[in-house]
Amino acid sequence: MKRSEINEILRAADDMIRRHGFTLPPFAYWSPGTFRDQAATARHVIEARCGWDITDYGAGRFDEMGLFLFTLRNGRLADLTAGRGMCYAEKLLISRQDQLSPMHTHVIKAEDIINRGGATLIIELYGSDENGGFAGDRGGQVMCDGILRDYGPGEKLHLAPGESVTLMPGDWHAFWGEGGDVLVGEVSTVNDDETDNIFREPIGRFATIEEDTDPVHLLVSDYATWLA
């Protein structure tokens, strides 16, 4: 993806978030230079990879397969292992109309996916085999707004604004917006996007960036190089 394209996606996402009455934290609007200056005091933001995140899953077709994310807060895997401390994470996502987030599951993370506003969020579900792998002939159980329900293989949930689903490790899922763009909330256990996204197809989690202009804001995938 070109940096200029990413900058435009950031601006459009911020506009949609504000239209739905949500304001991002101050560090969201730091310039790369300010981030460098604040790196010592913002150590947790950097190490927990909080902030802007845009992916085309390495396919170069963002409009067809991609996702906008902003990690608002993220805990520590060490706390999760110890069973106490900061064991949670929170994100905002924007799933555009007919923009696929491809089939995947998590080994560690349980998550509530919440339609915070906009159009309908479609979530396609499959179960796992005995080894946790994708099982095209299996369903499972999820909670929708706290109510337990069974799902069949390939069943599609239609979440209207305000509705949610709780996904556990081993619930294979893909999602997209139907009828328009959707602002999505995600509340989960500690999030590790580098190792805990298991995709059905061999695709990448992060975009490869062509630096055709300067970044307006850094992505979480920029921290290792820009803030080294």
**Residue from 75, 69, 89, 73 nearest 175 by CA:** 69
Q: How many CB atoms lie within 10 A of CB 77?
A: 17
Lowest-pLDDT choice from 85-94, 165-174, 196-205 = 196-205
CATH number, domain at 134? 2.60.120.10
Cα–Cα distance for residue pair 121/216, rounded to 1 Å: 29
CB 70 within 8 A of CB 92: yes
Q: Residue 60: which domain range?
A: 3-226
Q: How many domains does the chain have?
A: 1
Is residue 142 scored above 90 in pLDDT? yes
Rounded to 5°, angle at Cα 215 from 100 and 77: 60
Instruction: Check pLDDT > 90 for residue 22.
Output: yes
Checking if the pLDDT of 1 tops 90, the result is: yes
Q: What is the mean pLDDT of residues 49-59?
A: 95
What is the chain's length? 228
How far is the C-alpha of 126 from the C-alpha of 107, rounded, in Å? 15
Tell me the pLDDT of the chain averaged across its residues.
96
Output the pLDDT for position 137. 97
- pLDDT tens for 61-90 read 999 999 999 999 999 999 999 999 999 999
Task: Please tell me the predicted confidence (pLDDT) of residue 165.
Answer: 98
pLDDT of residue 23: 95
pLDDT, position 202: 84
Q: Residue 228 half-sphere exposure, CB side, CA atoms within 13 Å?
A: 5
